[in-house]
Amino acid sequence: MSATDDLLRNAEAYAESFDKGDLPIPPGRKVAVVACMDARLNPYGLLGLEEGDAHLIRNAGGVITDAEIRSLAISQELLGTREIVVIHHTDCGMLTFTDDVIRERLATSLGEEAGTLAAGMDFLPFPDVEESVRKDLAALKSSPLIRPDTPITGFVYDVATGRLNPVD
């Protein structure tokens, strides 16, 4: 049995008691959260969110790139979000490698074609979590695609304590 089989059983059980089919498309709390994809970080549980409350955008490191700005622009202009929260975390995998390390690993593991593709890719590792949050906040605040009146806050989630620590 695969993990997917187990997930599909869980999805069926979820659907059996599902009662949220009438939620509106815009998020009820008018907030968008960008967070790391790390499995130890549960933004819904951490922030007390339920289905329909917020837009949640996740990626490796929770970093802001053009893809996240694209999603946030849509979230704001078409779906009414008015706040943005950025969450990175302690003990992040993005602290553990450089672009050269992941490029070499991909080339060795997956072959020449993967190595060639990876050579032109920035995997966006970072050496300091708080500084990465600051960089992301600055990118959001300076983007012409993000509403200038948007409250934008950043945090580092401590995976050992479960605490959310603000970053200026």
- Provide the CATH number for the domain around residue 148: 3.40.1050.10
Domain holding 126, by residue range, is 24-167
19 within some domain: no
Q: Assess whether pLDDT exceeds 90 at residue 1.
A: no
Burial of 7 (0-12, 13-18, 19+ CB in 10 A): exposed
Contact 55, 86 (CB under 8 A): no
The answer to the question of residue 17 being in a domain is no
Q: Is residue 8 part of a domain?
A: no
What's the whole-model pTM score?
0.94
Q: Given this model, what pLDDT does residue 133 score? A: 98
The stretch 84-99 carries a mean pLDDT of: 98
User: Number of folded domains in the chain?
Assistant: 1
Helices first, then strands: H and E counts in the chain: 6, 5
pLDDT reading at 82 higher than 90: yes
Residue 42 within any structural domain of the chain = yes
Q: Please report which confidence band the pLDDT of residue 144 belongs to, taking 50, 70 and 90 as the band edges.
A: very high
Asked if residue 11 is part of any domain, the answer here is: no
Tell me the torsion sign for CA atoms 55, 156, 42, 19: negative
Residue 9 is assigned to a structural domain of this protein = no
Where does the pLDDT of residue 63 fall: very low under 50, low under 70, confident under 90, or very high at 90 and above?
A: very high
- What local confidence, expressed as pLDDT, does residue 83 receive? 98
Does residue 109 carry a pLDDT above 90? Answer: yes
How confident is the prediction for the chain on average, in pLDDT? Answer: 97
Examine residue 108 and state whether it is found in any structural domain, yes or no: yes
14 in any annotated domain:
no
16-58 per-position pLDDT tens digit? 999 999 999 999 999 999 999 999 999 999 999 999 999 999 9
